[in-house]
Structure 1
Amino acid sequence: MNYKTLGIDIGSTTVKIAILDENENLIFADYKRHFANIQETLADLLQEAFDQYGEMTLHPVITGSGGLTLANHLGVPFTQEVIAVSTSLQKLAPKTDVAIELGGEDAKIIYFENGNVEQRMNGICAGGTGSFIDQMASLLQTDATGLNEYAKDYKALYPIAARCGVFAKTDIQPLINDGATKPDLSASIFQAVVNQTISGLACGKPIRGHVAFLGGPLHFLSELRESFIRTLKLDGEHTIIPENSHLFAAIGSALNAKEDNSISLTEMKDRLRNSIKLDFEVERMEPLFASQEEYDAFANRQSSYKVKTGDLA
């Protein structure tokens, strides 16, 4: 049985997997929203691979913001996201000088300069990321794809804040009330994301040379990419839109797989479905009431205190 490598990228909103053959060619890949049900979603993706290719022995590696806990429970090596993305870029788009990656809830700019890699990341706030775009789309009663279709016909751009969904709504609502068109609003939302990414992450450091666009939002939303290209004044030669750009972290982690760790596809699916109960990563406070009896006792005790009331009339 020949060995293959498996890269798993667990993001804040999606799970991506990539299976490479022994010649590092991509033979299976998929991308799915997990709606906080990470294990089940990953097991479903592995089942799809199994249905297509049958049993396989895999060298797995996990990456992504939600991947560390799962990697520990599965006993699978973990690689940092920037390393995974850098590995992919070096193999698939080696001319890249700067990579801009948008995820579901984070944004990154990675600079490659003479062998040095410098990463700027916004991981603490979802302003100007995929979930921000989803939120703004719902204001216009559509989804991210609908927003992209609208934006193709825009005539004017309005200034909209993107550092927070609350500020953006405050900017958008008056524009809707004033009769701004959906194409103009959609393009303005994308422009706001571009401004937020460039000003918030680059912090004045120029984005020059060959620029690669990665991550789900930039892969699926052509008009968002166009907004970046327009703002950065990039020509065709300096714009890199790789195939499978939404899977780069998964592909990169597969490229970082080591031969000493292997697992069969079935065993991995079984572990995900049956044996792992993920603990919460945060410390929880003790509940106020450990049982119904404790709550009832509290309610009885409190109900004995009554404020005197009288008839106001």
Structure 2
Amino acid sequence: MVEAAEAVTETHGTKPLRVGLDIGSTTVKAVVLDQSDALADALFSDYRRHHANVRATVAGLLADIHKELEKLGRGDEPIRLAITGSGGLALADSLDVPFVQEVIAETEAIDKEYPQADVIIELGGEDAKITYLKPTPEQRMNGSCAGGTGAFIDQMATLLDTDAAGLNEMAAQYETLYPIASRCGVFAKTDLQPLINDGAAKPDLAASIFTAVATQTIAGLASGRPIHGTVIFLGGPLFFMSELRAAFKRALDGKVDEFIVPTDAHLYVAYGAALQADQDGDDLD
């Protein structure tokens, strides 16, 4: 057993493992990197809802990371941790670990995997972001209202007696698009309810909801600055919902050269935090 442990140490070297935590408004994401900087080579990754109980969820996630590292025979190796995300600053302070601004984390991740990218469009549980990468990074964010975000989609899905996944399935069968406001759930419901009462087909309503999200995100955040070149889709809603991506592609038709949905796009901000953990902070016990 001692010889095996020594072999592991010789194989993996002394560089600390790197853990990135992305704490969002509705979910917590984690990525653990080894010597490789590639997300595909991560030792561990996970995405889970925290149901407003962030500390307990993070504690469970860290326990699961430890268990996985123990299985790999690497539970005693030094670890560097960095935290990012809209809900991460207070936790980073309480744990005395580095906090990485979200725009820095996601830009680091995209630069590593997709250096050709020009723009990132990211939807979270309660925020939406457009990040321009060239010539210098600039992030525009809708943080004051949950309109046009994952929470908005969940709310609209409830009106159609389904969930986000069901809404996505419905939207794939659409034939007609209706104008629906997505700036606010109240306004959207005002637009949607009469259409429901008039018997509009649910697939049409589902696709119209996604179209409203895309239109609101682009119009509200781009504010006239063009979106072109290579666009990267990030965040849980855009990763899990193909019809939401399709709505953005329709809205940007003829303006964008290429759309890319990275494998594990929902983990990219946590991945960027893990990359940053290598640059700052002390080893954790």
TM-score by length of 2: 0.89
Q: Which residue of 1 aligns with 2:138?
A: 118
Q: Which residue of 1 aligns with 2:30?
A: 17
* Aligned counterparts of 1:179 and 1:260: Cα–Cα separation in 2: 58
| Unmatched runs of 5 consecutive residues or more in structure 1 | 265-313
Q: Which moves more between the two structures, 232-241 or 92-101?
A: 232-241
CA displacement at 1:51 relative to structure 2: 2.4
Amino acid at match of 1:157: L
Q: Which residue of 2 aligns with 1:88?
A: 109
Q: Which residue of 2 aligns with 1:101?
A: 122
* Aligned counterparts of 1:164 and 1:247: Cα–Cα separation in 2: 27
**Structure 1 residues 56-91: Cα deviation after superposition (integer angstroms, max 9, x where no partner):** 431000001110000000011001000000000000
* Aligned counterparts of 2:254 and 2:68: Cα–Cα separation in 1: 40
Q: Is the partner of 2:133 in helix, strand or coil?
A: strand
* Aligned counterparts of 2:79 and 2:170: Cα–Cα separation in 1: 43
| Unmatched runs of 5 consecutive residues or more in structure 2 | 1-8
Q: Is the partner of 2:131 in helix, strand or coil?
A: strand
Q: How many residues align?
A: 263
* Aligned counterparts of 2:255 and 2:218: Cα–Cα separation in 1: 18
2:152 matched to 1:129? no
* Aligned counterparts of 2:139 and 2:219: Cα–Cα separation in 1: 15
CA displacement at 1:234 relative to structure 2: 5.8
* Aligned counterparts of 1:63 and 1:248: Cα–Cα separation in 2: 11
Q: Is the partner of 1:263 in helix, strand or coil?
A: coil
CA displacement at 1:52 relative to structure 2: 2.1
2:267 matched to 1:254? no
**Structure 1 residues 111-140: Cα deviation after superposition (integer angstroms, max 9, x where no partner):** 1123x1111111111100000000000111
Q: Which residue of 1 aligns with 2:190?
A: 170
Q: Is the partner of 1:256 in helix, strand or coil?
A: helix
Amino acid at match of 2:192: I
* Aligned counterparts of 1:174 and 1:8: Cα–Cα separation in 2: 43
CA displacement at 1:34 relative to structure 2: 0.5
Q: Percent identity?
A: 57
Q: Root-mean-square deviation (CA), in Å? A: 1.4
Q: Which residue of 2 aligns with 1:7?
A: 20
Q: Is the partner of 2:182 in helix, strand or coil?
A: coil
How do 1:138-157 residues align onto structure 2 when only pairs under 5 Å count? 138-157=158-177
2:258 matched to 1:238? yes
- Select which of 35, 47, 68 maps to 1:52: 68
Judge conservation of contact 2:108–2:272 (CA < 8 Å) in 1. yes
Q: Which moves more between the two structures, 44-53 or 192-201?
A: 44-53
**Structure 1 residues 141-199: Cα deviation after superposition (integer angstroms, max 9, x where no partner):** 11100000101100100000000000000111000000011111100000000011001
* Aligned counterparts of 1:263 and 1:140: Cα–Cα separation in 2: 48
Q: Is the partner of 1:113 in helix, strand or coil?
A: coil
Q: Is the partner of 1:137 in helix, strand or coil?
A: helix
**Structure 1 residues 190-230: Cα deviation after superposition (integer angstroms, max 9, x where no partner):** 00000110010001111100000000100000110011112
- Select which of 158, 162, 182 maps to 2:178: 158
Q: Which moves more between the two structures, 222-231 or 254-263?
A: 254-263
**Structure 1 residues 94-126: Cα deviation after superposition (integer angstroms, max 9, x where no partner):** 111011000100011011123x11111111111
* Aligned counterparts of 2:154 and 2:118: Cα–Cα separation in 1: 29
2:82 matched to 1:61? yes
How do 1:202-241 residues align onto structure 2 when only pairs under 5 Å count? 202-233=222-253, 238-241=258-261
Q: Which residue of 1 aligns with 2:6?
A: none
**Structure 1 residues 227-253: Cα deviation after superposition (integer angstroms, max 9, x where no partner):** 111211169961111111111110001
* Aligned counterparts of 2:244 and 2:67: Cα–Cα separation in 1: 35
Q: Which of the two has higher C-alpha Rg?
A: 1
Q: Which residue of 1 aligns with 2:3?
A: none
* Aligned counterparts of 2:89 and 2:54: Cα–Cα separation in 1: 12
* Aligned counterparts of 1:110 and 1:145: Cα–Cα separation in 2: 26
TM-score by length of 1: 0.81
Amino acid at match of 1:127: G
